[in-house]
Amino acid sequence: MTEIPDWSRQITLADVVVGAEIPAISMPITLQRLVQEAGSNRDLSLIHHNKEVAQSTGAADAYMNTFFIIGLFERMLREWMGAGGRLKKKGMSKSSRRAPHFQHFRFSGLVCIVA
């Protein structure tokens, strides 16, 4: 069961230090979850729900799309910084986005720059 975030807690820029760990989040990735998420943003590519098509691209199985991964990343940041926090920019490298549906996906973070 997922723990409910404490939205009364708020981190300010003054609280953020280089080297601080951002608490991890994790989620089981099921085929049902992949289909629901891909369908919700109209990403109807077969690689997100068809094992054979995904394998033809070199993947082990159907895998998460970019919006799903960015959404989990943002969730991790928002749970850490609080409801009043502001994201100025977000992005990611697409070098290792293939998380098959039979895995448990985990995000963790480390503050590298405070600006």
What are the tokens at 85? 């926090």
Q: What is the pLDDT of residue 93?
A: 62
Q: What is the pLDDT of residue 17?
A: 93
Query: How many other C-beta atoms can be found within 10 angstroms of the C-beta atom of residue 74?
Result: 13
Number of compact structural domains in the chain = 1
Domain assignment present for residue 29? The answer is yes
User: What's 46's domain CATH number?
Assistant: 3.10.129.10
Q: What is the pLDDT of residue 80?
A: 92
Domain assignment present for residue 7? The answer is no
The parent domain of residue 79 ranges over 20-110
Contact between residue 6 and residue 100 where contact means Cβ atoms under 8 Å apart: no
* Among candidate residues 107, 78, 81, 102, the one with its CA nearest the CA of residue 92: 107
Q: What is the mean pLDDT of each run of 10 residues along the chain (115 residues)?
A: 77 91 89 88 87 89 85 90 83 58 80 85
Return the bridge partners of 25, or none.
107
Q: What is the pLDDT of residue 20?
A: 93
Q: What is the pLDDT of residue 6?
A: 83
Domain assignment present for residue 9? The answer is no
Q: What is the pLDDT of residue 19?
A: 94
What are the tokens at 99? 């998380």
Q: What is the pLDDT of residue 79?
A: 92
